[in-house]
Every structure is written in C-alpha cells, then in structure tokens.
Structure 1
Amino acid sequence: MNITGNPEVFHTCYFTLTTTMSIRKKRKTATSSASNEPVSAPGRSQPAKSKGSRRLRGKLSALLELPLDILLEIFGFLLPLDLLHLSRLNKDFRKVLMSKLSIGAWQAARQNLPNFPGPFRGMSEPAWVNLAFIAECHFCTRTVRNPDMYLMTRVCPPCASERLIRTRVLEAKLLLAHVSARDVTGLIPAHCTSYRSGDHTGPKQWDWWSLHSDYDAICAKLLSFETSEERSKFITNQKALVSEDLKHSRICEIWNTQRASERYREIHQGKKDRRQAIYNKLKELGYEEDLKGIRPCFDPLAEHPQVKKNVPLTERGWAKIRDELVTWAEDRRASRLAWEHQTLVNSRKPIVLSVFRQYKNDRAHYPVTTFFPSVADFSRFLPITEVLNLPSDVEVNEDSFATVISQIPELCRIWRGQIKRKLIKLLLEPDPERSRDETIHQLQLACNVVICSHCSEFPDTARRRRGQSANQTFSVMPLFYPQMLSHRCMRASDHTVFKSIKDGTGRLKYPEWHIRAPWSMEYIAENDKLRSIVQCIVKMANLDPATTTVAEMDADESLFACLLCEKQQLTESKSQMFILYRWRELARHIFQSHFYATVKFTRHVHKFDSGELPANYQNVGPVGPIMFQCVHCHDLPSESADNYNGPEEITKHMNDLHPEVTTPKLNKDFYVPLGEPSEAHKGRIVVMELSNDTSEELRVTYKCALETCLQSCQSQFGWETDPDPDIHFDELNEDDLLDEDFDDDS
C-alpha cells in the first residue's frame, strides 16, 4: 500500500500492533506446548522441528481488535484507492469501511491526493473512488480506461448500445403530454460525445447521450405528482441540481485529464530513465560509438521489449537482460560499419562515373546499335567493386581504374550476355538443338511481345463488363525486342527501396521519386491476349507470325482503320475524321479500347496497303512524336528516366540545360533510344474522309494544315518529311549479347 500524509505515525502504530500480536502468539504457543507435550520414550530422540516461515500468516488479523477511533485514524493515512482495496479484503474490513462512522477516514484519505475533488451529489465516498480509479465497466467486467464524468459512470462500447440513449431519441419517444421534451432532457445528466448506438460494432455517432435508467427514473418521478404545481416545483429544483452537477462534472473532468497527463509523464519519464540507464551500461561495455548514430526521433533501442518497460533498472535486472542487449549492440555495430563502408563507396562512385562516361563517349556511336549498362550496373562489376572496396586509408582516383579500363568492353559483353539469356529463358521455350542464329531470330519476332506491368493498368473485369469503367484508367505498355532493353522501368526503381543508401550517382531528374537501379526484369510480364492480337495483325499484313521480326513489321507500310470506333463528324460538312494506325499502335489500341472484342477484332479492322489510300482520304497531320534521349545527360542527375516526346520537349530540354548547344542535331546532341520504331512519328495518322460534296475551300484548309505541321518538323531539325530509315532503324549488334559459355550466376 502507498502511504502518504504522516507515515511516521502510521509506522509507529503498525509496529506496536505487530509486536503485541507476536508476544500474544508466543505466549499462546508456549502454554499449549507445555500442556500438550507428549512423554517420549527413554533413549529416543525427538525429530527436529522444521524451521517455519519467517512470514507470519494472518499478521494483520488482529488489526480489527484495535479501538475503532485508532483504527480509523490509521486508515486516514492511506490513499482512497488503498481504502477501497482494503474494504474488499474481507467482510470485517468491509463492515468497518462501509459504515457511516468511517466517513472521516474516507475524507482524510481523499485529502492525501492533491486537488482530488469530492464525490457527486448523492454519491458515497467509496462509489466515487470506484468511479475515479477502478477501470471497469459499471454494467459488466470489461475494462474501461476513462470514466464519463458527465454521466457519472464507466460504460464499455457493448453496454453503451444498451444503457445509453441519444437525446433526440428521448424527445421523439416522450409520452408525457403535460411535460415538454425540453424539460425532461434538461432534468437528467447528458454528455455531448461519440458513442455507438444499436450494434456496438457500427460507427460512432456524435450526439448528446444520457443514461436510459436516468430517463426512466425521471419519467416515473414526474408521473408520481398529482398536481402541476408540485411537478413544476420539482422541475425547477431538478434543473438547478443538474446545473450544479454539470459544474462539478467539469471540475472532475479537468482533474481526470490532469491525472492522466501526469501518469503519462510519469510512465514516459520512467521509460526514459530506464533507457538512459541501459545506454550507460552499453557505453561502459564499449558500444558508445555504435550508440552515437541514434537520433531522438528514431531510436530503435527504445522499442526493444526489454528497454521500453516502465521498471527501474537494477543490477539484478541488468544481469538478466545483459546478453540480449549485447547481442543487439553487436548487430548495431555491424550495421554502423556497413553504413560507414557504404558511405565510403558512395563517395568514390563519382570517380567511377567520370571514368565510365569517358569510355561511353569514346565508344558510343549514333544511331545506337547496342546498349550500355548504367552506372548502377557498372559499379557492380567485380573489378570496379574491388577498387571501390579498398580501405579508407587508400586514396582512390581515376588512376586507380587505369587497369580496369581495358577490361570494360569484355565486362559489358558479359553483362549483355547475362541479360540476353534471362530474356531467352522468359520468352522462348527451351530447345537444346536450336542454334545461336535461330535463337536470336526468334527473340526478334514481333509475336514475342511483353508488357511493362509498372506502366500498365488493367480494369476490373466485372465493372468493365457492366459498363461502369468510365472513371477507370486502363492502359498498356507493349514492349518489343530490343525496346525492352532500354525501357526506363528496367533501369529505374522507387527511391524508397534504396532509401538507406545516399548515392548521388543514382539521382534522376524525372521522375523525382525514382533513382537508377541495376537492370532488372521485375516489371516484364507476358500477356497471351496481347500476343494473340499481334499475331492477328501480322497475319493481316500477309506475313507469317512464326518468322516475321519486329524490323520487318516496322518496314511494312500497311495502315489499319478501326471500324469499332466512331468517326468524328466535321463541323458544317458531311466529312468524317478518324485515325489510321501503324501495327504497334493498332495492337495497343485494340487491347486498351476493345479488350473484350479481341477474339473477332479482325472483322472490324480495315487494312490499307502502301499506296492504296483512296483519293477521298486526305492526311491532316501526324500523331505520335518520336521518342528522344539527350546525349549530354548520360548517367548524370539531369538525365530523365522517361524519353522526351517529340521535337518540342527535346528542344526545350536543350535550351534549359544545354544553352551552349545553339543548333541541336540528331545523333549528335540527341538520339532515338534503342528499339524505338523506325517511324514513330507516323505511329497513328489522323485522316479525313472527304465526301463528294466537300468544297474545294475545305480541301485547301486541311492541306495547309498538313503542310504547316510538316514544315514545323523540318525547321526544327532540318530533316526531310520522310527521314532516311537508316537513321532510325537500329540493327542490333548481337555479337556481344550472347555468350553460351558464360554462367548466369557468375
């Protein structure tokens, strides 16, 4: 029990009482043993009596033998909660403490708690202590942390749905015609808070709540009056009493809030003291350097089960948890050393970047015919990591990589071969008799299409079939070989994956939340529906899907019109405008816009061969710009993971970041990424069907629009309307991408 007030008086009384009890017990034991001691046989020794427990059972049983005034004086030094626990110890204590004679002891105990208010009107001292300190529901045995001082009860959520009722419900169900609803609701305690009505699992409702028992009692009281004068007088007095109870409830609520805050601070300080004591113990064992990196806002040791207890640390307690915490400190030391080593490696990576960029600028040629690793992959090559992992006392500069430069071509070739075999394993069926040339040819087939799962979003099938997908985003990113090699999702990753490593060489301009990452196939996924669509398109072009490559389909000049899409009616004309697709864009369009009509979509697609465009079709302008990348931003923080769409974006990039380049040139200042279609700017062509009654003025208008669009492209880059296919067609150099003798795991 916690003793406050004047503990010396209590200890004096307690010592006198226990001493008297011990003397009485000794006298009684001695007398009893003298009269009842049996006579032992001669020559036979008595067995030694076992030493009894030092603790005397029932030591406080004689406490009730004290005079009542002394007993109540002793009780006055206890805390209210101690008195309540003592009253529940046995029937004798309960009989004393629950009598009206003990009211002084309860009041004295209440004075031992600073600022502890008195009980509510009509509430006894024990009931008030039970409400204030015992965290139990007053209607069941569930735990309830906070009392409702306005309703003067503790109620759990299940009981709240049965015992409480909203005020507006009370007003609706009022049956007393001669008493207003406002009068009845003002005669009982109410609290504006959130409880759950009905099923206690439902949402909380913010409203005025009252106890159902209070409502029933006040209604019965109002019905008991025979005259209206008595009833009116009672209502006036009851309102005054409820107003006084409300004032006292606010005082009690403030005290309870302060008590909870003090208890929280006490627990927090206890945990803080224990944590600091453990820190000091670990520092004495030599882990001071490992604990320096712990920040106040993020303290992993504070969440350790043995640390976050609200128990003072003693030598005995430390001996029990010492081994466990030393193990944690060793892990912390290993993490610190790994962090310091990674920081050292990252500080040397800019040197690696400088060496690698110089090699790429010397060896790279445009248009690109191969693909290089990024600095994230290059830094993982074994000869590079050996230099990066040199001890901190060894100076690392560009001369440290002098012996590695000659190995870079072979390292890149091995890296490409490893990636190539991963793609072969994903896209092709295993065939040991297949030759190298056959393997490369099958990899380049147009039907070996995959999708980027990171860039693609698929609809909910059920919602789309019900026609409820208007607000859903549905897109797909098809990837053909070798386009998948240079796709940005294969070389970039969310920065949260590497948030613990600060590497300046991995930064990207866009997207801001992405960084460079080693080449990965994480987002490459096969899709049988998209593959079947491409196979049908290849057949519509009168080619064999089993042998037709991506380059052969790009060289085919067939255009496709989707008859499933509605044509756009031109204003003040009978003409209609729609889109002609190249084969790549048609596959993407059918997959995205006609997902559930892909089985028979060939019936609704019209193909135009080269030169077969009817005379009544007039080209208005190209749709779908060429994708570009900047030569000057390779592996730098200014590089964008996404390609620049069309002449406008790449020109703006050059003007903003490379103003020294006054006239940007293709394949010198910017280039078409590896695997992009040879005529990406003609991926989709918007055409207009001109009816016979179309005026000559309308024809001239759209012809001028076409010429303006084409002249814009020529003025920006100086190329012809139909550029040389050799500039954009990348015949991928496969010699350094396949090494059958190289082990994938090396």
Structure 2
Amino acid sequence: MSSFIRFAGAVALVLSLGLIVSAIPIAHIHLKPATGTDVVSRLFIKLCVEGQLEAKLKALLLCANIDDLKIKIAVVIALLKGCADDLIKLGAGVVVDADAKVSLVACIASIITLCVQVFATISLKFGLAICAELDDCLRVLVATLGVCVEGIPILIAKALASATVGVMTQIQLKACLSVLGFARLANAKGKAKEIKKIKDEEIDDRMLLDETSVEPGVKTMINMKSELEPKTESEYAQSEDEEPEYRVPPPKRPRISIKPAKGQAPRKQVRGKQGGLAGLVNMPIDIFTEIATHLLPIDIISLSRANKLFRSLLMGRSSSHIWHGAMRNIRGLPPCPEDLSEPHFLSLLFSKNCTMCGQPVRCRMDEILRVRLCTQCRQDQLVPLTSLIIEIRCLVHHSSKIVPSKRRWGPDTDYALKTEAREIEQKYLELKDSQDPLTLATWELDRKTAIGKRLREAIVIQDFLDTVDSDREQELRELKNARRRDIENRLVELGWDKKDMQFTYYFPARKDCPIWANIRPKLIPILQANREARLQKEKSERQSARKARLANLLSEIKKSQAPVLDIDVRAPTDPRESSSNPEEPSNVSPGAGPSNGVAEAQPLNNATDISINASQSTPASGSVVPVVRPIFHTTLLGIFPDIMDALEWPMVKALFENDTSVSVMEQNFVACRSEIDAAIAGWKSSTHDRMAEMLRQDQDIEGELLTPRLIVQKEDSDPFANLSDDLKLLLRADSLFTSTSQNISSRKELTSYDMAVTRFGYRLAFKDGIMARPYKPPVELSRIRVCSEARQVAQVLLVHMGLENVSITELKSIGRGFACGRCHDSRMKTWEELVSHFVEAKEIAARVQGHAGKLEVLKITHKDVHDPAMFPDRPLVKYTPSQIGNPIRTCTICSNDPITQDVRGPEENILKHLRDVHEITDPKLGTHYSNSNLPYPYAFDPTWHFDFDLDAGLFFTPFGDSDSESMDPFWDGDFW
C-alpha cells in the first residue's frame, strides 16, 4: 500500500508541476546579455551571444528520444563549464561597477529561469534524473562567479522569481538552490514539523563543507549562506524585503506533557522514503481539484482507494465535479446511468476487480447486469433464468454473456443476479396475493420499461467497451511494431540485414532494458541461420531466373529457324468416285491415288478442288453435284531440344551454373551463340539417326522413301529434296511410334516421330523418393518404340487409298478427315486414330477367333469386316461423315461372352453391323440389339460424335516453347 501511495502522490505532483510549467510559456523567456565592459561581463556576453545558449537550451525541448537529449545536454554543459573555467582563471576580487553588476545579475537570473523552465518540461517526459548534471554545472558557475564578484549570489537569489524557486524545489535542483542560499528549501519536503530539524542540519554542499579544497574567496559562500538564514521559526519564513510566497502559518505550540518521560517510543518501520505525500496532503483543495480534473477515471479510482483521507475527499457528493471532469477526459464515454453513481459506474468500466469480493479479475463488465464477477462469485451470485418461475423471467435483468458458454453452437443459457431474482419473486408473489390486478399490471409494466431502458443503455456501453478493446489492441499492435522497429534498428547497428530478421516480436523493451541483453545472444544464432537460408534462397532464385531466361532464349532460336516443311495440301477423294464419272472436267485433279506421281499446282486465292461425286447425282436430270475439296496450308517445325537437353551441353551448363545475374548470363549466351547453334543441329541429327535406326531394325524400306501425293506443287519442285534420308524415313505415313510404358487404356496411342519425342521422350523423376519434388530429365529415346503392327496396317490402308509413300505431314494437315468404311463406327478420325482403330479391330478379331468353338456352340457368327478381302467392293476409308440422326443402339451379341465388345452407334449402323458381322438378316430390337444406356438416347452422344480435338502441345510442349516470357510454374524451380 505504501508503494501505491507514493505512486499516487508522484502522479499528482508531476501533474501539478505540469500545470505550473504550462502557465509560463517558454517561448516568451529570453536571455538578457550583460552590458558591462569588464572581463566578467564579456565572458557572459560570449556565453549568451556567441555561444547561443538560449537557442541550445530551447533545442532540448525538441528532442524526441533520450539519446538526442543527452547529446544536446552535453553541448550546454560544455558551454557552462567553459565559462566557469574562464572565471576561475580570473581569480577573486574582480572589480565590477554598479551598472555592470545589475546587468550581470539580470543575465544570470534569466539563464537560471530559462534553464529551470526547460528542465521542468523535459523532466515530465524523461524524468528528473536527466537534470542532475546540469544542476551541478549551474552550481559551479554561480559559485565561481561568487568568488570573482563578491556578494553577487545573494543578488541573484533576490532577483529570481518565487515561482522559479518553487519549480526548482520540485525538479530537485538541490545543488543550485544550495549555492543560492536556499539549502534548507532544497532539503525540505513541505512538512512544517521538520523545520526545527532542518535548522539543526548542516549544509550538505561539498564546496561549502570542504574548506581546504577551494580558494579563500570561496569561503565567503559560508558567510553568504548565514546571511540568508530564515529569521523566523518557520523554514519558509523570509524577511520583509523578500517575496511572501514561502511564508506559512507558524506551527502550533507543542503540548506540554505533565507525564514523566518514559523513554522515546521506537520509530515505526516504513518502507520507502517518508514524507513523500506531504506536498499532496498539504496542497490547497482548489489546486488539488484542478489537478484531479486532468486525471483519468482510473487514476481517480486508484487515488480514492489509497487511504481514508482521499476516500473521504473523493467519495463525497461535493466531489462530483471531480468525477465529471475525469469523465470528460475519456473520448466517447457514455453518460452515467441514473441508477448508478459516477464512482460506481466508472469502477465497473475501468477497474479490474470483482464487484462482489474485490478479487482481481480480467473479464469485462456485463453491460446488462452491471457487475464484474470472478469464477467463484459467478457460482454464488448468479442463478439460471430457467430455474425461476415463468411469470418473472421477463421481469428480471438477465444476460447470456456473463458466464462463458460451454457449447460450440446453440443458444446460451441466460443468468440473473440471485439477490435481484429473489426480490422480484418476493414482490411478485406479494402483489399477486394482494388480489390487486391493476397494481400488479402497473408494476410489471414498470419492470419491463426499466428492462428495456437497461438494454438500450447496455448497447451504448457495449459499443464503448468494444471501442476501448479495439483501441487497446491497436495500442498493443503499435507496441509490437515499435518493438520490432527497435530490435531491427539495434540489429542493423550491429551489421545485420533486415531480410534476416524472420522472427516475432511480442513485448516492448527499451534500449537500456535488461531484456535486450537477455534476448540478444539468443537472436544471433537465429540471424545466422536466417542469413544462410536467405543467401541460399537468393542463389537458388538467381539460378531459376537464369534457367528461365535460357529457356526463353532457346524458344527464340526455335521461332527464328526455318520450318522443315512449308506446303499446301489438297484433301483426298475416293478414287472410285472419280473413275465413275468419265465426263469430269479436265481442270479437276483426282485428289487421291497415284495421279501420275504429283498433283498440279493451283493458286491459293482460288485453291479449291472440285470433284464429281457420282453417288450424289440426281436421278431425274442425270446431273452431278460438285464436291468442294479445300486446300490446307501446313508447316512442320520438327523436333527441338528442351532446356533440360541443352543443360547437358558444356557451354549451356556453364551459363547455368555460374552464379551471375541474368543480364550477364545473356551477354555470355550471345557470345557463344555459334556453339549453341551447332549443338542444336547436332542434337537434331543424333535424334533423327537413332529413331530412323529403330524403323530400319523393324522393317527396312527399299526404293523411294517419300512421294508428294497431296501436295500442291509449284513448278514441279520436290519439297522433300533437301531432307536427309533419315528424316524422309521418319516422315513417312507408316512410320508410327508408341510408348514403351504400359498404357492405362488398352488402345495404343500412335504418333509421328516428332510427337513421340514430345509426348513419350520426357518424364517426371524424383530425386529422393516419391515424396520429393519431381524434376524433368533430358529426353530418353528408350521410352519410345516402333509400333510394328501399326506400320503393317498403315501400309495396307495407304495402298487401298492410293497414297503409297505419302508423308504423314500431308495426312495430319487434313485433321479429322478419315472415317472407317467397314464398321458401325462412322466418326471422323485423324490418321493416327484411323490406324489405331484398324489395329484394335484386328486384335479383337484375333481374340474372338480364339473362341471359335464356343461361338459354334452358341451359333454366333462373327466376321472380320476390317479384313480387306472380306468385302473387296467396299472402301476401307471414307472421307465424308455419315448423315446420322437415329437413336443410339447397342449390339447385344457383342456385349456378351465371348466377344465382350462395346458396339454402339446409330440404329442404321447397328443394323448394318448385325447383317455384315453376324449375318442376321432380320434383326430384332430387344433380342439382337437394345437401347443404349447412355443419358443421350439419340445421336447426340458426346462420346460418339463430339470428340474434342485437343492439341497435345498444350500438355506436352517442350519447355520454353511458349510465347510468354515467364516460365511455366509447373516446371519452375526444383521441378526440373
């Protein structure tokens, strides 16, 4: 309690000091330079004018932190010490005329006055200890001046204003007060009963006690001190020519005890310094009231709980204006409810004590019940609303927030104060037993009105408390941010980078606080680890940036290279259609078939191929309908190395591994461009040779490798003349490749050589197991194989189409322009899909023939309609889609064992399938075929007709092939 009392007294004294300081504006205080011509006056003119003492003193008020303040105080101390040293050199007995002495006294008084006001202001912010060294410097200066000019300290003491001397006592300028003759005032604490003790005390000034350590002239200070002794019994009594501010009423006459002395009673042991609250206790009531109006409500509450004196002073009705003044200091504070007093209301809002038992509690008040309860008091003072009779539940103040809910969801239980609930219940039963319904109804209406008013006031109080909590959280955030900045600045001063400061900050600590000394050795290992991680991360980021730029540079090289083929291709036609029309115009090319080796060239602006379709002739007129065959322009870029292939080359690997910036790496890339171009050409040639060797080992091709069948040529030029034999072999339409890995589906994925390198040549690998980040190794041709069965089927199809030795580029340029001419599947397909369809049909036929005995027992016929010898009059390939609009049906025979094939399609095609494959001339719905179980019962089957022609390059494009400057995030970083 004593420590709390000292705290409250110190707060009040500091606030009173603030009022005194604010009453004297420092901006209006100016130094008065000396006007004499003697050496002493010239020294003070030098101090005030040349040394700019006034500006340097007022600059102390602008300091924002203790470090800047100490630096500027050191400058002022140096000026004062320099002047004191010059006075010591002059020695004692300097003669100064009367006018010069008057101006000198005015100069010193103005210096002391300005210093006192500045010290009082900065001590409010940085404490009283900051003024100790300046106090000593002023004492030395005045004492030294008293040695030089005899009697001048007395004149300075008389020239000082009483308010200035009063402030000097409050900011503890004891040394300066002592040398000016106010030694007893410096040691006094405002207690009249200590005056006699003070008179008996010796002066504690070292310069006055140690007579052997000073010059003889300094000893006159003792005489000067004796002249300034008070002439009354009071410590503060002064002579008539002095100002009367320090006069106090004489003490009462001590009571004369008639009892014999029994010995002095032992002094009560009290912690801390005694007499700390004397100034506050003896303060006039109007000054105390003015000070209290500048305090916060929690300060007034704490002060009222300090002792009986303050409680009696602050808890009376006459002190309501003090509480109202304190309430005005809180922004947004709601008005005090009518049924509460100001101290009670403010205590509920701001104190942290239980309303019932007074124990410390951290929860906020309940706005409806207007109490703050601890855990034990909740159990003793609250009652659940459900335990009350139904009639009074709406008449009692109740809240659902005062007890923390144990439920995750659902309504919370309402509670009411037990004493209030008993009173309301008792009152209700009394009015009910009185048989006076009107009085009972009036009472219930009043209760409901009071509850409604309480709820409205609770909403206002709740909003205010939410604002207070929000402001407190913001204050804590600012403290954390300030701590963060403080720690960062200290670590920066130690040479650390802010990028390495990856740790949290939770507690504000001053720079000279021992917490910093405690956490500093713990932060150093963290900073070292963060620095190593940051440097490694920056190195990895630079490496990733170099790799991304290398990929973009390779992509630019790829775009700048000329394509392998740049041709115009005419869509093929059925040779039977052309041969059945002898009157075909001479300017129409047969389109497909041998056609004497090459096709004639046509200009692109009118590049259409018009052939006569005999099947579309009108029977009535015998005329024919021309079929327009468009011309497609296509280019073949060929294969190109991926960035991972390029990193295997020494020059590119060196560009990637050297830890340089992207710009430096790009300059080095340009310097070795010729070597990179040679490496690209060598990689292409090596890949062509290895893949062509695969084809030769499977089946060697003799004779001419490529023949332009569908190409619109200009001036009989051969577009394949400049290609190597390996590339010609790879560009054949029957040079089909597939993957060596097991495919999820049974259908083989057939591709040309360039798509095989892109799709199957690259894979994802893991460095440290399956859970590690994957990366992309260079191309692996061992993942690619020649599909022998597809080559045989493709050669048969090309012979029947009349397109022997045609290039796959010509057929791929047509897109989905082929359809099977033998089975129920009339969907349009690409060349690879068409070959895959015939390969799958061949495998199904072989599997079914393995169960010939079972088919014979079941009396099921199954013909291989894809066999060229089965229906020689029918084409294997068609170039136009079938006109379908029939409902989707499913072949029941093929769905069962031993065929187990899903055969579905338009009803017309399924009927044709039953006649051709199973030799059923009269198919029956429900017996031989059935409705499809698809959600699309008619021909709008997405799996049947609406095929998505997705470009494989969207998923298997070599790295760096995109037009974007940024890298694909899928392959970024360690994913390579």
| Higher RCO (C-alpha 8 Å, min separation 6) | 1
TM-score (norm 1): 0.41
TM-score (norm 2): 0.33
